[in-house]
């Protein structure tokens, strides 16, 4: 364990995508991001920033970060316990980083959505 808060702990990923790849893991057993309680949700950003500082102190500052949650089997979840991936990224470590998380989707062309017209979604409101 590399660090912890009241609700989270940080550990090295067992199968790192890059040096410094860590996971933020809930202490309470939850499967989905949407199962977090208010305290766990509130702590997450602080733990994420703390983990970033730990990684940078150990492996240096990367060119970017991938922050990921595979929420559901269809999304790639392989362990039924919520964890957040924090992966340091470096220029050139993938052929075309523009797709980001979309690289896992079949037939995804980053050029098809960069600068695309999103007005079809203007009636969607994020309300709690």
Looking at beta carbons, which pairs linking 77-80 to residues 24 or more positions away fall under 8 Å? 80/31
**Structural domain boundaries of the chain?**
3-104
Give the integer Cα–Cα distance in Å for 21 and 9: 14
- Give me the chain's average pLDDT, please: 83
Q: Which residues are catalytic?
A: 83
The answer to whether 39 and 5 are in contact (CB under 8 A) is no
For 97-118, write each residue's pLDDT tens digit. Answer: 766 655 544 444 555 544 554 4
Q: Tokens standing for 21? A: 């790849």
pLDDT, mean of residues 53-62: 96
Give residue 118's pLDDT.
Answer: 46
Band of pLDDT at residue 75, cut at 50, 70 and 90: confident
Counts of helices then strands in the chain (DSSP H, E): 2, 5
Give residue 94's pLDDT.
Answer: 76
Q: Is the pTM of this model over 0.95?
A: no
pLDDT, mean of residues 32-49: 97
Give residue 125's pLDDT.
Answer: 46
**CATH number of 3-104, picked from 3.30.10.20, 3.30.428.10, 1.20.1540.10, 3.40.50.300:** 3.30.428.10
Give the integer Cα–Cα distance in Å for 79 and 74: 12
């Amino acid at each position: 364990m590399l660090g912890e808060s009241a609700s989270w702990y940080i550990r090295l990923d067992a199968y790192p995508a890059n040096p410094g790849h860590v996971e933020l893991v809930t202490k309470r057993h939850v499967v989905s991001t949407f199962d977090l309680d208010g305290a766990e949700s509130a702590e997450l950003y602080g733990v994420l920033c703390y983990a970033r500082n730990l990684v940078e102190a150990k492996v240096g500052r990367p060119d970017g970060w991938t922050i990921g949650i595979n929420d559901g089997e269809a999304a790639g979840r392989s362990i039924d316990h919520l964890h957040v991936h924090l992966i340091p990224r470096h220029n050139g470590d993938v052929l075309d980083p523009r797709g980001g998380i979309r690289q896992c989707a079949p037939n995804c062309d980053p050029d098809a959505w960069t600068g695309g017209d999103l007005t079809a979604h203007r009636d969607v409101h994020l309300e709690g």
